[in-house]
A and B are shown apart, each in its own frame.
Chain A
């Protein structure tokens, strides 16, 4: 049996962990370990968009930043285009950063209020010596146009813009160094609904024109559905389900994913839909439940004692459809 020849993944994340240690007390030091990301693995193919969804605090933002080494991962491995990112130091890491960028959630804190929009977009050009002087000015104007802003805006300050416009500036900044991969960290969740679609469409257009790969982080499944090729669902630092977007939305396997999907508003008021209401709060990642981290809130009919003891592996239950649940049979 030979697997069909597949292109090499652009990004390969294996067993990524990021634990934060909180220290309390002066004399009797107590260390509390918060397992923000606790063993996450996935691939992103060149030009592919992987959606990463989950509730706030599930570790999706930390995952994105750990991949880019904006926070240092505790353990695991990240390979980008075959190179081990976690082994890079100093200048090698800085040069590699050109190829992977990030667009942030908050359009207000993501732009330096003391720099003009032109200076913000230009910084990457200067750092990597991509253009200088007149050529850099031209490039900045081009980039602003490309994200749908007027080139004259280069001389203005961020506070003169709306949230959507500021998000476009952030996108232009990311594009300036010509990356092949961008982490979009909830790029539209701080925007008005009417503006959200525009920004998502811009990201989709740019992906097509520049063959970009995205890790698209969101807590809103409806937004991800429009743009993602595949979707990973995170809960309490773990990926609990990973599938092609179509499959995941049509046939979610994990009880948690079902509950999430049932919460997405549907435009058709007549559609008969069963709302699955989860009870209780998300447990603290400092004291995650034993076994399956989702078991205290799980409403699966077959839930039993094994769920509280066995840590469910992320298994391929159907072709290309992975789920971490011991009660979902393979071939489902």
Chain B
């Protein structure tokens, strides 16, 4: 049946492509020890900058480490930072956005001005400053990315809540004597969750980019732990770019493909969950094609 979000998603080629890439990258990250075939940290100075071959599928880097192994282990970093940071952004943004939109007045004023302050900084500069101040590590990186991401999420949630709050079914629940928490969880949250999920999906892509940028600058996960951004940083001298392009092309392609996949999934979700499309499907189910 068309009109149902699941059905729309299933007929969307973008969604299939995105899901395919995300499943592959996730599987590789989870099963890294099985997929890698080499120790990503094993330095072999006799095997520096070897081109791709049967032994080293994507060649070796300047210290003779297997690029494929490092790529696979690097996926763990990228994905966990992407997902964990968005969970933090989502939790903070949902809670604060709901409170701001529902209670209004000074709560709204306070939360939104804090969001303005957060958004006033260029994201990457803010991240660099925070990470530098806090000692770079995996935990610090996803915490800061998540924390910086709360503001956009809170704004989005607040805007949606302002619309839904005045709907009569929300007023009816208040009128029945429901507590604020019940009104928010049972009536408001389900009505605002769709755009939030879309934003979080797009946010994962942005977070992976941010992590790669930080790692590239040496502010991410510290060496020798493999990370895509750090791999590009290691490979960025001219001789390597010219004579051993696999060292930079492989992690670059991995970042590009993964970010593209999450962006496409977000777009596909947006089209499938479009509230207007949804409303149309709900109010006139009898005229939709089966």
Q: What is the interface of chain A, defined by CB distance below 8 A to chain B?
A: 65, 68, 70, 93-98, 101-102, 104-106, 108-115, 120, 123-124, 127-128, 159-160, 170, 173, 176-177
Nearest-Cβ distance from residue B144 to partner chain A, whole angstroms = 32
- Decide: B282 and A159 in contact? CB cutoff 8 A: yes
In this complex, how many residues of chain B approach chain A with their Cβ under 8 Å: the count is: 20
Please tell me if the beta carbons of B172 and A173 are within 8 angstroms of each other in the complex.
yes
Query: Is B37 among interface residues, defined by CB-CB distance under 8 A?
Result: no
Contact of A127 among B178, B283, B285 (CB under 8 A): B178
A229 to B22, CA, bound (A): 67
Q: A70, B174: Cβ atoms under 8 Å?
A: yes
**Cross-chain contact A70 with B283 (CB below 8 angstroms):** no
* Residue on B nearest A108 in the bound complex, by CB: B283
**Given the known A-B contacts A127-B182, A159-B283, A159-B285, are A111 and B169 also in contact in the complex, defined by CB atoms under 8 Å?**
yes
Q: Is B107 an interface residue (CB 8 A)?
A: no
Q: How far is the CA of A102 from the CA of B177 in the complex (A)?
A: 12
Distance between Cα atoms of A98 and B178 in the complex (Å): 10
Cβ-defined partner of B177 (8 Å) among A94, A110, A112, A120: A94
Point out the residues of chain A lying under 8 angstroms from B285, CB to CB: 159-160
Chain B 146-188 interface mask (CB, 8 Å, partner A; 1/0)? 0000000000000000000001110111111111001000110
Q: Which residues of B contact A105 (CB under 8 A)?
A: 168
Q: Is A127's CB under 8 angstroms from B176's CB?
A: yes
A159-B282, A159-B283, A159-B285 known; A123+B176 contact, CB < 8 A: yes
Q: Which residue of B lies closest to A123 (CB)?
A: B176
What are the 6 A-B residue pairs with the smallest beta carbon separation, nearest first? A97-B177, A110-B168, A94-B177, A104-B168, A112-B169, A124-B176
B177 touches A128 (CB 8 A): yes
How does the 8 Å CB contact mask read for B215-252 relative to A, with 1 for contact and 0 for none? 00000000000000000000000000000000000000
Q: Identify the closest chain A residue to B278 (Cβ).
A: A113
In angstroms, Cα B191 to Cα A113, docked, is: 9
Task: State A115–B167 Cα separation when bound (angstroms).
Answer: 15
Chain A: minimal CB distance from B275 (Å): 11
Can you list 16 A-B contacts (CB < 8 A)?
Answer: A70-B171, A97-B175, A101-B176, A102-B172, A102-B175, A105-B168, A109-B168, A110-B168, A111-B169, A112-B190, A113-B282, A114-B190, A123-B173, A176-B176, A177-B176, A177-B177
**Chain B nearest CB: distance from A180 CB in Å?**
14
Beta-carbon contacts under 8 Å, B245-290 to A: 282-283, 285
**Least distance between A192 CB and chain B CB atoms (Å):** 16
CA distance A115 to B178 in the complex (A): 16
CB of B175 within 8 A of CB of A94, answer: no
Question: Looking at the complex, which one of B169, B171, B179, B191 makes contact with A94 (CB distance below 8 Å)?
Answer: B179
List of A residues within 8 angstroms of B191 by Cβ: 112, 114
Task: Tell me which residues across on chain A come within 8 A of B168, comparing CB atoms.
Answer: 104-106, 109-110
Cβ distance A166 to chain B, nearest Cβ, rounded Å: 11
- Give chain B nearest CB distance to A127 CB in angstroms: 5
**Residues of A contacting B186 with CB < 8 Å?**
115, 123
Q: Which residues of chain A are near B169, meaning CB under 8 Å? A: 109-112, 120
> Do the beta carbons of A95 and B171 come within 8 Å of each other?
no
- Chain B residues near A102: list those with CB within 8 A: 171-172, 175
Closest chain A residue, CB of each to CB of B175: A102
Q: Given contact pairs A97-B174, A97-B176, enumerate 18 new A-B contacts (beta carbons under 8 Å).
A: A70-B171, A94-B179, A97-B177, A98-B176, A102-B172, A102-B175, A104-B171, A109-B167, A109-B168, A110-B168, A110-B172, A113-B282, A115-B186, A123-B186, A128-B177, A159-B283, A160-B285, A173-B172
Which single residue of chain A is at the shortest CB-CB distance from B172? A110
Report chain A residues within 8 Å CB of B175. 68, 70, 97, 101-102
CA distance A112 to B167 in the complex (A): 9
Nearest-Cβ distance from residue A120 to partner chain B, whole angstroms: 8
Q: Once the chains are docked, how many angstroms separate the CA of A102 from the CA of B168?
A: 10
| Residues A127 and B174 in contact, CB atoms below 8 Å apart | no
Q: Do A112 and B187 have beta carbons less than 8 Å apart?
A: yes
The answer for the CA separation of A173 and B182 in the assembled complex, in Å, is: 16
Complex Cα–Cα for A68 and B198 (A): 37
Closest A residue to B285 using CB positions: A159
**Docked CA distance A125–B252 (Å):** 58
Per the bound structure, the CA–CA distance linking A96 and B175 in Å amounts to 10
For the complex, what is the distance from the CA of A94 to the CA of B173, rounded to whole Å? 11
- A109 and B167 CA atoms in complex are apart in Å by 6
CA distance A71 to B179 in the complex (A): 16
Residues from chain B with Cβ under 8 Å of A94 in the complex: 177-179
| Least CB distance, A29 to chain B, in whole angstroms | 14
| Complex Cα spacing A267 to B50, Å | 96
Question: Considering the chains assembled together, what is the distance between the CA atoms of A94 and B182 in angstroms?
Answer: 12
Q: Is the CB of A98 within 8 A of B283?
A: no
- Smallest CB-CB separation from B171: which chain A residue? A70
The residues of A that contact B176 with a CB separation of less than 8 Å are: 97-98, 101, 123-124, 127, 173, 176-177
Docked Cα-Cα span, A324 to B175, in Å, equals 32
Contacts of A104 in B (CB 8 A): 168, 171-172
- Greatest chain A CB density within 10 A among B168, B173, B187 is at B168
Closest beta carbon of chain A to B13's beta carbon, Å: 29
Which chain A positions have C-beta within 8 A of B173? 112, 123
